[in-house]
Amino acid sequence: MNYYYITGTSRGIGKAFAMHLLENPTNFVIGISRNRSIEHPNYRHSYLDLTDVNALVEFKFDLHAKAKKIYLINNAGVLGFIKPVGKLDASTIAKNYTVNLIAPSILTNEFINCYDSTDAEKVILNISSGAGKNPIDGWAVYCASKAGLDMFSRVVDSEQKIRAKTPLESIHKGFHIFSIAPGVVNTNMQEEIRAAHKEDFSRLEDFIGYKVNNQLSEPQLVSKKYINILANIYSIKEVLSSIKDYE
């Protein structure tokens, strides 16, 4: 059996990802979010508020001694209010950093700790964003948190490669980690962007145009592309990439 832990499965890319995986009876999905929207015999939901650091610290992964594959997909992310720095709400800053960076960091740490001696293909996929590489006005916290997630992924990858050169590799199989951006996707986040005020966001018309001109990818298509990419992890050459790099 293959086990997939996915954050943010109540909607968008996370839900589409889970539904595609559940088409295969050898896959079992554990959804992690505040709300449940999936019913399936091979699906279990873990109700977890990703803004609650104490709850995150207490979260534990199940032991899957006979698993063929165990994946952690850090998909959940929030944009929050689109406003320039100086007009942001302090509590929103803290909440957004927690969901976008602290939560995936804590979950990744526990994932590696839990499955360190498990003999399975172990993969961590972080859903990245082009915003982590390019500054966008009004998105300071989102850009910074995604950039942090990219660097966190690079460090974990570096640690795994260093470890692979030691005798420990003969005892434990290493972890693979990737941070892959999906491009612009037709999710609730895009609705939030289009609702921004022009004075707070200079690129408002660009994002309205993505919707008007049908330039937004659907979550179902994007999640399928991710699954196709992950079907052969050894074909992924870099820790950081974008879905468009494989098209």
Can you give the residue range of the structural domain that contains 239? 2-183+218-246
Give the count of domains, the chain.
Answer: 1
Q: Is residue 207 part of a domain?
A: no
Q: Is residue 199 part of a domain?
A: no
CATH code assigned at 239:
3.40.50.720
Q: What per-residue confidence (pLDDT) applies to 171?
A: 46
Alpha-carbon distances, residue 198 vs 28, 123, 138, 230 (angstroms): 44, 40, 10, 39
Q: Is residue 12 part of a domain?
A: yes
Catalytic residue among 5, 97, 142, 226: 142
Q: Is residue 55 part of a domain?
A: yes
**3 among known catalytic residues:** no
Tens-level pLDDT at each residue, the chain (247 residues):
999 999 999 999 999 999 999 999 999 999 999 999 999 999 999 999 999 999 999 999 999 989 999 999 999 999 988 999 999 999 999 999 999 999 999 999 999 999 998 999 999 999 999 999 999 999 999 999 999 999 999 999 999 999 887 655 544 578 999 999 999 999 989 999 999 999 999 999 999 999 999 999 999 999 999 999 999 998 898 999 999 999 8
Q: Is residue 224 part of a domain?
A: yes
Q: Is residue 136 part of a domain?
A: yes
pLDDT tens figures, 134-159: 999 999 999 999 999 999 999 999 99
Q: Is residue 237 part of a domain?
A: yes
